[in-house]
Chain A
Amino acid sequence: MGCGRVGATLAGMLTTEGHEVTILDTRADSFRRLPTGFNGKKHIGNGIDQDVLARIGVGDADAFIAVTQGDNRNVMATQMAKHIFGVKRALCRIYDPIREEMYRDLGLETISPTIIGATMLRDQLNAQHSEEGG
């Protein structure tokens, strides 16, 4: 759910690995970001609408991943996938580290790019620094 840079790239990776992928976005022009080799299904619709999730077959999915720009949209859609449609793996991107931790405690598989990005930049900076220092 969400065909932004991350969603499109991830969808491309997963199809290349041989998985069956469906991508959902509210805007048709978002699909231009998909790599040329993408052979999965594309659906236009709002992922926090139960009817939309049912229509695109979320109930049959092994995993659901929400990567829209909205933390709350991601959280709501992922919880619907998990609790209404019984999807086993429900992954969700949450920028806000506090909410990320909270929803991890509530049983979602969450990723906060804020913490990951900041940590990687810090590590990169420190590595450079110690190279110069040594």
Chain B
Amino acid sequence: MYVIVVGGGKVGYYLAREILREGHEVLVIEQDASKCERIAEELGDVVLRGDGCEATTMEVAGFGRADMAIAVTGDDEDNLVSCQVAKAMFNVPRTVARLNNPKNQEIFRLLGIDTTVSATAAILAQIEQELPTHIVIPLIKLAGGLELVGVKVPAEAGVVGKRVRDLLLPHGSLIPLIVGQDGAPRIPTGDTTVQAEDEIVAVTSTENEEALRIIMTQP
């Protein structure tokens, strides 16, 4: 397989090294002379100095026979354009782009880039696994040590299906509003039942926040 890597920074360098190790043919395109030198020293004659978005350079690089183009520069606009030119002008069958801003996934997909990879998104996903997903979010501080908070009810919580009047709320707490999963608000009465993924908006004291969280979220 012939793989072209656009961008010879750290990501491009290690990527090229691994692709070579797997026994494929690889070429790195990089504009910076010193980065090119380093790659040439360590990996051999697999680097071309130039702009990986410019058709003339891309022609020299052999995009026309490439099986895959991977754009991994630090600038999303350059990665996007390199992949688009690879597709539109050189019919590269598979294009992969590194995303620096994970929000750009949508536009890259809309514009036909086959695969996007975002380190930021991958790390965020790890962090989100570590954090408790059902936390009490303070909304507004009220007078007298009270505050308005929001807490989401997980599907497995013991309160699901219970009536509001049967909830053992911490002393001095009350529930003025429940927002359903579909975003529809309900003003609860004692007979209102709690449903999975409801957002409970409650008035409570700061010291009772944790007790409220446990009641609303524990199975």
Contact = CB atoms under 8 A, between A and B. Distances in A.
Interface of A: 48-51, 70-73, 75-76, 79-80, 83-84, 96, 98-99, 102, 105-106
Contacts of B76: 48, 76
A61 to B, nearest CB: 17
Contact of A49 (B55, B78, B101, B106): B101
Given A49-B103, A76-B77, A98 B110 contact: no
Contact of B107 (A72, A79, A98, A102): A79
Given A102-B88, A105-B88, A75 B81 contact: yes
B88 to A, nearest CB: 5
Interface residues of B, number: 21
Interface in B185-200: none
Contacts of B110: 83-84
B89 A102 contact: yes
Contacts of A84: 106-107, 110
A27 B114 CA distance: 34
13 contacts: A48-B77, A50-B107, A51-B103, A70-B77, A72-B78, A73-B77, A75-B77, A76-B80, A76-B107, A79-B107, A84-B110, A96-B54, A96-B55
Interface string B46-88: 0000000111100000000000000000011110110011001
B107 A80 contact: yes
A53 to B, nearest CB: 10
Chain A interface SS verdict (over half) = helix
A73 B4 CA distance: 22
Instruction: Among B53, B77, B85, find the residue whose CB has the most chain A CB atoms closer than 10 A.
Output: B77
Contacts of B106: 50, 84
B123 interface: no
Given A71-B81, A83-B107, A98-B54, 8 more contacts: A50-B106, A51-B103, A75-B84, A76-B76, A76-B80, A99-B54, A102-B84, A102-B88
Contact of A50 (B85, B89, B104): B104
A26 B157 CA distance: 47
Interface in B84-100: 84-85, 88-89
A105 B88 CA distance: 9
A72 B103 contact: no
Given A80-B107, A105-B88, A98 B77 contact: no
B131 interface: no
Given A83-B111, A84-B107, A72 B88 contact: no
Contact of B85 (A79, A80, A102): A102
Given A83-B111, A102-B89, A50 B103 contact: yes
Nearest to B104: A50
